[in-house]
Amino acid sequence: MATAVVLPKPGNTVESCILVSWKKQVGDQVVAGEALCDIETDKALVEVESTASGSLLALFFEEGEEIAVFTNIAAIGRPGDSFEALRPAVAARGASAEPATPTARPGQESQDLRLGQPGAHHTDIGISPRAKNLAGRQNVAIAGLEGSGPHGRIIERDVLAAMGQQPLMTPVAKRMVAQGGYEAPAQGSGSRGRILAADLTHSASESAASSPQKAGEFEIIPVKGVRKVMARRMLESLHTTAQLTLHSSADAQTLLAYRQRLKASSEAFGLQQVTINDIILFTVSRVLEHHRELNALFKDDVLYRYRHIHLGFAVDTPRGLMAPVIHDAHRLSLRRIAQASRRLATACQEGVITPADMDNGTFTVTNLGNWGIESFTPILNPPQVAILGVGSIDLKPVEVDGEVQFMKRIGLSLTINHQVVDGAPAARFLQALAGGLAEVDLLLAV
Amino acid sequence: MTKLISIDPIEARQKSVIVGLEIPVNAYQSTPKQEAQKYGRENLLRMYRDMVAIREFETMLDRIKREGIYHGIAYDHGGPAHLSIGQEAAAVGQSFHLRPDDFIFGSHRSHGEILAKSFSAIAKMGEKELIEVMEGYLGGAPLRVVETFSDGNVQDLAIDFILYGTLAEIFGREHGFNKGMGGSMHAFFAPFGVMPNNAIVGGSADIAVGAALFKRVNRRSGLVIANIGDASMGCGPVWEAMMFASMDQYRTLWDAELGGSPPILFNFMNNFYGMGGQPQGETMGLGMLARVGMGVNPEAMHAERIDGYNPLAVADAIERKRTILEAGHGPVLLDTVTYRFSGHSPSDASAYREKSEIDLWRQQDGLLNYGEYLKENGHADQALLDGFQAHSTERLIKALAAAASTEISPRINAQAESIGGMMFSDRYKDRMAKGEPELLIAKEESRLKQTQAKHRFGLDEQGNPRPKLRAVTYAEALYEAMMHRFYEDPTMIAYGEENRDWGGAFGVYRGLTECLPYHRLFNSPISEGAIVGVAVGYALSGGRVVAELMYCDFMGRAGDEIFNQMAKWQSMSAGILRMPLVLRVSVGSKYGAQHSQDWSAMVAHVPGLKVMFPATAYDAKGMLNLALRGLDPVVFFESQRLYTEPETLVDGGVPIGYYEVEMGEPAVRRSGRDLTIVTIGATLYRALDAAAELWQKHRLSAEVIDIRFLNPLNYDKIITSVKKTGRVALASDACERGSFLHTVASNISQLAFDYLDAPVAVVGARNWITPPAEMEEAFFPQKEWIIDTIHERILPLPAHRASTDQATSAIMRRTRLGI
């Protein structure tokens, strides 16, 4: 009897993973604990270890496929053991899978397909527009419904009744169905049959409707993995929070001078690679200690103010934007912060960052200064309530003793969740941060 | 129907004979010497000048229609041109003695009358007055054009103004007298007393009576002429107009100081053809049309046949008849012989008459004859006459060049809803004229004392119905609205069948008789066409009027007046005319097939009418108040099922004071979430019963909306409701096929399609005759029909057994059978 290896859930929010590469092949002998494959979550690259020992009988997925967590990905046993029962249902596959054809009955597929109008599913079933809309929003499969309206028409109450019985669905999956383009299977691959985003299949009507007029005009890039999570979280962020961005700038002369000194310092100090961003992270970690209303998480109508400062910072990677976290940053020296940021950024770039290094951030810094962006409106990373955007360093006219002088200043943009953070405390934080940056040499002594 | 005049049976049964009066035929007698003395050379020549101008105007249009060119000016005129070549003497002779405050109403063949009457007015008005008229018309826009080509004095300018304005109207241009909305057959120019010309044969007859009534009731000067054709004598409404105009009561019951009968002259322009039919000898049997006067009243309408080929004979007749009309002894009938050389229209090949007949008449040509007359009697030589001709042509060339040019004379932008903007004025006015309304008693002494003392709400504190005699009813609410406006607007009159003394067949006007002199509230002959047509004339002359058709079913008798006159004159005049006319129409029941129909869909279908149908006492007063203050024509439906019903739905009942219901806003009578029922009229109460049962038996919460207004109608509330409930049934007592509910249903389907959980279902009366009262339940929508329709077509109700057949299969079967 063969045993299945299940795709583990490598993080709390992880619903699905991309199979990056198999490390074993069918026929190989594996031992429990041995690496079987690499998968990529929305946050990190993770190694999946075999949970059984024996001969690798089957690999149920191909590299590049998106797989729901808790799905059987491989079968291990003695050669000759039956493993077909372990093969996951088609619906567990991601976007690359064939669309399900739930209305088709055996022997009738071809006929049904021929009769079907493009873009019109279930033409043989009468359904009211209202019921159809509700079914779409709530992901109720029309095909399985018994219509109770006149002439068996499916009407709103039939959909409402089905909603009471339908499998559970993750909010993301629900939203994807509601937004169109996806259909859900009767049963999901999540716990207790919950339908996950990965269980959804592209609806034929949607892809037909949005089919390119001419091939070759564009390239098709499935949005998945980190990018998909990002896409979702960015939208969620804007949908669920009241974002307000404040712009300011800080005197950057000391900052630049200090950075020059670090660069020129003895190698023995290990400070030569400290970046401007490291100094900013350091300064934020120190100033934030006195502005804890911004070092907070807002979840389900409760505000959690943190004493510890777990500082996230944005890293641009080929897979998309990532925000690794420097835990307890307020306790770390500038040098340690610089080391941590370098290590985490590299891990992100290489795709080996662990979920632990991505979790529990309480405040995030994102820096576009290198690209000459003076100011911008960073998007919050909920449940965090604030994010600091760092802009470029530019010459700005400043009045000194009645004369206009040009001084180098660095742009600061702070986005807050105005649901729980008011403008004044945010402004005070920005003011204190600007002060800290202007005299970062003194701050280092504190 | 008046207690003041009793019918003596002895007299009624007495043996005697009716002696006919002699009707003069072509009796004009005069001598050139007398005529020269009477008119003077200048006026005699002016008549010739005007006849030539008309002949040339019509000839020009004939060329434009047939050849597309006149003196080098090419133009393609797509519209009609019914020409009156040959009839110039009749038009000019008629207008000679008319003053600017005299009105003429005309027909589709009235270009000559427009010009003749205007030339006459121009000759009689001062320069300052003429400038004011022209400057004031359409903001001076037509005048600005005329000034670019006209030279000469103010009278010349005014003549060019009339030629250009008429021509621009015929060509459908913005600077036409009615912005091109009337065209050839409807052109008019009210400041010179040229009132609307009518493309419906005889259409002007009852409208002109209304204008004469307006003059009489409101003590305005001037007489009114209806210029209609000989063939229109075959039209019922023309006869009705004569009946209305010759009522005894003007002289027996109305205040003598008002001046007697309305000053109306029915002038039948007798050109011997009704299109191609020949009334004399073929399509009618009158012999001479003037004979009809003998059948109308003892004075035989002072009828005469006159020689319309002699302008002086016509002028003489008008002068003599004016005396009769001003003395209050009208109406007058003239049979004016005036053969047309031109065909009915340029497309007419005159297949119905011999060329020899035309030649015979050409030998009698009024224009040539009159020219000879002028020469023979030393008023003119040929050179002078030729000069008139040349001058006329010269003027026309200039006017035509300007009117034909789309740069100088653009059309209105029909794509930009500008015609839509002319359909209604959407304006309101408390009084149509200054002055004290004429009343017999103070308001405080009226029946208002009784109605205002009643309970204003039909239910007591416990929600139980109050005795109907103790609470203000729907009929009394209407009465209160009428009272308010009668005491505000001195021009307001009301009439219809049984309106005075009886107080209307359903007692709505009970108590008005005591308040109002005869001329403000009176009984009309049973002439539904004229009842509406007279009201149209009264309203477009500037008075507020409420006409009543006792039963909705009688609208058929007034079809043209409602659909073509009442509905169209505001927009055909480009908003120059107002139509403060409320037509009260009562929807019956229990009286069988010809007294129980709801025809609201018919009037809602015709553009230009506002259509209201209150279903509660509060709305009866508030909506009639709204209608009575407006300047737009309203067909106001009432339900005989509701006259005795007090208000039971609107909290507080019927306010004692003045209020208005907001135009076009439906009323939500019961709110609900599962289903919407939309009703028109008295069906509301059956829908409320259905809603109550749906809740009690099926726990379905139905929203009930009474649309009240068919046009204009704001769909917001209906669509909001349907979006909420997703299900909608509509019900009214109108027969289902073509019911206005289908219009509402279709709009709902389009405006709320994505929200619908079922097709929109219409419940109407059966497409049958209305059976006897005892069998009406099989005909009119009942509570059960509404519930069964919901069950069969919208939302099957568990455990419900349908008692009537409302399934879709019934629709198929019944439509196939046409029932």
pLDDT tens sequence across B147-162: 999 999 999 999 999 9
8 Å CB contact between B194 and B158: no
CB A372 within 8 A of CB A410: no
**pLDDT tens, residue by residue, B462-510:** 999 999 889 999 999 999 999 999 999 999 999 999 999 888 999 999 9
Domain identity same for B38 and B124: yes
- Report CB contact under 8 Å: A130, B754: yes
pLDDT at B763: 98
ipTM, two decimals, is: 0.74
Q: How crowded is residue A346: how many other Cβ atoms within 10 Å of its Cβ?
A: 13
In 10 A of CB B468, how many CB atoms?
A: 13
CATH 3.30.559.10 domain span(s) along chain A:
242-443
3-class secondary structure for A96-116?
CCCCCCCCCCCCCHHHHHHHC
Q: What is the 3-state secondary structure (H, E, C) of A148-197?
A: CCHHHCECHHHHHHHHHHCCCECHHHHHHHHHCCEECCCCCCCHHHCECH
Residue with tokens 């691959």: A189
**pLDDT level of residue B252 (50, 70, 90 thresholds):** very high
Task: Report how far residue A45's alpha carbon sits from residue A39's, in angstroms, rounded to the nearest whole number.
Answer: 6
CA B624 to mean position of chain CA atoms:
19
Name the token pair of A261. Answer: 């000194």
Domain CATH for B777: 3.40.50.920
CA distance B797 to B198: 57
Could you tell me how many CB contacts below 8 A there are between chain A and chain B? 37
Separation CA B215–CA B99 (nearest Å): 14
Q: Which pLDDT score, from 0 to 100, does residue B552 have?
A: 96
- A346 touching B (Cβ < 8 Å): no
Q: Between these two residues, A5 and B89, which has the higher pLDDT value?
A: B89
DSSP string, B463-486: SPBPPGGGB-BHHHHHHHHHHHHH
What letter represents residue A337's amino acid?
I
What pLDDT band is residue B48 in, cutting at 50, 70 and 90?
very high
Please enumerate, as own/partner, the contacts of B664-667 that have beta carbons within 8 Å and a separation of 24 or more.
B664/B709, B664/B712, B664/B713, B664/B714, B665/B708, B665/B709, B665/B714, B665/B717, B666/B705, B666/B706, B666/B707, B666/B708, B666/B709, B666/B713, B666/B714, B666/B717, B666/B718, B667/B619, B667/B705, B667/B706, B667/B708
Given a cut of 90, whether residue B202 has pLDDT beyond it is yes
Per-residue model confidence as pLDDT tens for chain A (446 residues): 788 898 887 776 677 888 888 999 999 999 888 889 988 876 677 888 888 899 999 999 888 788 888 888 999 999 888 888 888 876 444 433 343 333 333 333 333 333 323 333 344 558 999 999 998 888 888 888 889 998 889 999 999 888 877 667 776 777 676 666 777 777 777 766 777 777 777 765 544 444 444 545 677 777 777 777 778 888 888 988 999 999 999 999 999 999 999 999 888 888 888 999 999 999 999 999 999 999 999 988 889 999 899 999 999 888 788 899 999 999 999 999 999 999 999 998 888 888 888 888 999 999 999 888 999 999 999 899 999 999 999 999 988 888 888 999 999 999 999 999 999 999 999 999 999 999 998 888 87
What is the tens place of the pLDDT at every residue in B609-642? 999 999 999 999 999 999 999 999 999 999 999 9
Count the helix, strand and coil residues of chain B and give each as a percent rounded to the nearest 5: 45, 15, 40
Q: Where in chain A is the domain with CATH 4.10.320.10?
A: 109-209
The listed CATH number (2.40.50.100, 3.60.20.10, 3.40.430.10, 3.40.50.720) that belongs to domain A3-88 = 2.40.50.100
Q: Is the pLDDT of residue B368 over 70?
A: yes
Q: Is residue B4 part of a domain?
A: no
Q: Are B634 and B673 found together in one domain?
A: no
The number of beta carbons lying within 10 Å of the beta carbon of residue B42 is: 10
Q: Are A50 and A34 in contact (CB under 8 A)?
A: yes
- Sequence length of chain B is 819
Q: Is residue B433 part of a domain?
A: no
Chain B environment of A131 (Cβ under 8 Å): 757
Return the DSSP state at A350: H
pLDDT at A70: 82
Contact assessment for residue A304 and residue A297, using Cβ atoms and an 8 Å cutoff: yes
Do the Cβ atoms of B758 and A155 come within 8 Å? yes
- Whether B437 maps to a domain, the answer reads no
Looking at mean pLDDT, say which of A249-253, B73-77, B338-342, B663-667 comes out highest.
B663-667
Residues 312-331 on A with a CB inside 8 Å of B are none
CATH superfamily membership of A109-209? E3-binding domain (4.10.320.10)
Are B740 and B720 spatial neighbours (Cβ–Cβ below 8 Å)?
A: no
* Any B CB within 8 A of A164 CB: no
Inter-chain residue contact B755 with A150, CB threshold 8 Å: no
Residues B615 and B730 in one domain: no
CA A433: distance to chain centroid?
29
What is residue A123's predicted lDDT score, i.e. its pLDDT? 44
User: Strand pairing partners for B522?
Assistant: B495
A149: nearest CB among B754, B755, B796 = B796
* More reliable by pLDDT, A146 or B810: B810
Over 50: is that where the pLDDT of B253 sits?
A: yes
Q: Is B566 helix (H, G, I), strand (E, B) or coil?
A: helix
Are residues B197 and B255 part of one domain? yes
Residue B164 lies in a domain: no
Same domain, B633 and B744: no
CATH of the domain at B352: 3.40.50.970
Q: Is A156 on the interface with B (CB under 8 A)?
A: yes
Residues, chain A: 446
pLDDT given at position B1: 54
**B809 part of contact set with chain A, CB < 8 Å:** no
CA distance linking residue B4 with residue B544, whole number of Å: 27
Strand (E) or helix (H) holding B128: helix B127-136
Residues in A touching B755 (Cβ below 8 Å)? 129-130, 133
Q: Please state, in angstroms and rounded to a whole number, the distance separating the CA atoms of residues B587 and B796.
A: 33
CA distance B653 to B176: 50
Question: What would the pLDDT profile of B515-528 be if each residue is shown by its tens digit?
Answer: 999 999 999 999 99
Q: Does residue B385 sit in the same domain as residue B505?
A: no
Rounded percentage of chain B residues whose pLDDT exceeds 70: 100
Cα dihedral A232→A235→A237→A240 (10° resolution):
-110
What residues contact residue B265 under an 8 Å CB cut-off, 6+ apart?
A: B223, B224, B225, B226, B318, B321, B325, B330, B331, B332, B333, B334
Residue range of the domain that includes B573: 443-639
For an interface test with A, the pick among B757, B792, B812 (most A C-beta atoms closer than 10 Å) comes out as B757
Q: What is the Cα–Cα distance from A18 to A41, expressed in whole angstroms?
A: 7
pLDDT of A13 reads 67
CA distances from B672 to B264, B695, B701 (A): 58, 10, 5
Closest CA to B181 of B415, B414, B425: B414
- Higher pLDDT: B358 or A94? It is B358
Tell me the backbone φ, ψ of residue A414, rounded to 5 degrees.
Answer: -115, 120
- Hey, is the C-beta of A146 within 8 angstroms of any chain B C-beta? no
Residue type, A209: A
Neighbours of B106 (CB within 10 A): 31
Contacts B794 to A, Cβ<8 Å = 149-150
Asked if residue B414 is part of any domain, the answer here is no
Annotated catalytic sites of B, by residue? 595
Gap between the Cα atoms of B608 and B624, Å rounded:
18
Q: Does B756 touch chain A (CB under 8 A)?
A: yes
Residue A166: what pLDDT?
65
On the CB side of B678, CA atoms within 13 Å amount to 28
- In Å, what is the CA distance from B68 to each residue of B77, B182, B394, B410? 8, 22, 18, 19
- Find which of A156, A157, A159 to mutate to test the B interface (most B CBs within 10 Å of its CB): A156
Which site among A127, A128, A137, A154 would you substitute to test the B interface, given the most B Cβ atoms closer than 10 Å to its Cβ? A128
C-alpha dihedral, B64 to B68 to B74 to B80, nearest 10°: 50
Q: Are residues B678 and B607 in the same domain?
A: no
**Closest chain B residue to the Cα of A156, Cα to Cα:** B757
Residues of B within 8 A of A159 (CB-CB) are none
Say yes or no: B792 contacts chain A, CB-CB below 8 A. Answer: yes
Question: Is B182 within the bounds of a domain?
Answer: no
**CA gap B225, A230 in Å, rounded:** 85
pLDDT at A180: 67
Interface check for A129 against chain B (CB to CB < 8 A): the answer is yes
Read off the pLDDT of residues B386-425 as tens digits, 9 standing for 90 and up.
999 999 999 999 999 999 999 999 999 888 889 999 999 9
Task: Give percent above pLDDT 90 in chain B.
Answer: 95
The structural architecture, per CATH, of the domain A242-443 is 2-Layer Sandwich (3.30)
Residue B655 lies in a domain: no
Q: What is the pLDDT of residues B729-740, one digit of tens each?
A: 999 999 999 999
Residue B598 sits in the same domain as residue B672: no
Do B728 and B790 reside in the same domain of the chain?
yes
Q: Is B194 helix (H, G, I), strand (E, B) or coil?
A: strand
Per the CB < 8 A criterion, the answer to whether A304 and A432 are in contact is: no
A131 at B interface, C-beta within 8 A: yes
Of A129, A150, A157, the CB nearest to B756: A129
Could you count the other beta carbons within 10 Å of the beta carbon of residue A35? 12
Q: Is residue B185 part of a domain?
A: no
Residues B689 and B740 in one domain: yes
Instruction: Find the largest Cα–Cα distance for chain B.
Output: 102
Cβ separation A148–B756 shorter than 8 A: no
The pLDDT value given to residue A33: 85
- Least confident range from A342-351, B341-350, B601-610, B718-727: namely B341-350
Partners of B753 on chain A (C-beta within 8 Å) are 129
User: What pLDDT, on a 0 to 100 scale, did the predictor assign at position A51?
Assistant: 86
Taking all residues of chain B, what is their mean pLDDT, rounded to a whole number?
96
- The B residues from 389 to 418 touching A (CB cutoff 8 Å) are none
pLDDT score at A217: 66
Q: Is B428 helix (H, G, I), strand (E, B) or coil?
A: strand
**CA B334 – CA B332 distance, rounded (Å):** 7
Q: Shortest Cα distance from B759 to chain A (angstroms)?
A: 8
Domain count, chain B: 3
pLDDT at A12: 67
* Crossing angle (nearest 10°) for helices B366-376 and B32-67: 140
